[in-house]
């Protein structure tokens, strides 16, 4: 299954992130190396949210990631949530659905 960790960033996120960025990225790459995190990054124009995609049997890895993330712990994230993402098409969908499978 896939899960999206969605961060709502504080208004001054870009100016405050520099001293925490290396620790945040180490945290992200470690989650990727464990096979939990697939992709992550910020949304732009405006820079107000970030989205991180996880894979696994439960949302636990995504929740743990947020709880331990230096950005969250240091107030750069105003709010976060984890949502299950039912992926059905593309290179690696968790629940592939082909057109011939739809009645």
CATH code of the domain in which 92 resides: 3.30.70.1060
Inter-residue contact 20 to 71 (CB < 8 Å): yes
pTM of the model: 0.93
Residue 103, pLDDT > 80, answer no
Residue 17, pLDDT > 80, answer yes
Task: Record the tokens describing residue 99, joined without a space.
Answer: 């057109």
The stretch 37-57 carries a mean pLDDT of 97
**Is the bond preceding residue 101 a cis peptide, omega within 30 degrees?**
no
Residue 13, pLDDT > 90, answer yes
* Domain extent for 73: 2-101
Beta strand ranges found along 13-94 (DSSP E): 37-43, 49-55, 77-85
Check residue 6 and report its DSSP letter. E
Tally the domains of the chain.
1
pLDDT in tens, 48-100: 999 999 999 999 999 999 999 999 999 999 999 999 999 999 999 999 999 99
Cα gap 19→3, rounded to integer Å: 28
Cα gap 81→21, rounded to integer Å: 21
């Amino acid at each position: 299954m896939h899960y999206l960790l969605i961060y709502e960033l504080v208004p001054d996120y870009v100016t405050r992130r520099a001293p925490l960025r290396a620790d945040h990225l180490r945290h992200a790459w470690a989650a990727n190396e464990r096979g939990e995190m697939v992709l992550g990054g910020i949304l732009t124009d405006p820079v107000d949210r970030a989205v991180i995609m996880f894979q696994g049997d439960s949302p636990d890895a995504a929740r743990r990631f947020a709880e331990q993330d230096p950005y969250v712990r240091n107030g750069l994230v105003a709010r976060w949530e984890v949502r299950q993402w039912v992926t059905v098409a593309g290179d690696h969908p968790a629940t592939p659905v082909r057109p011939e499978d739809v009645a």
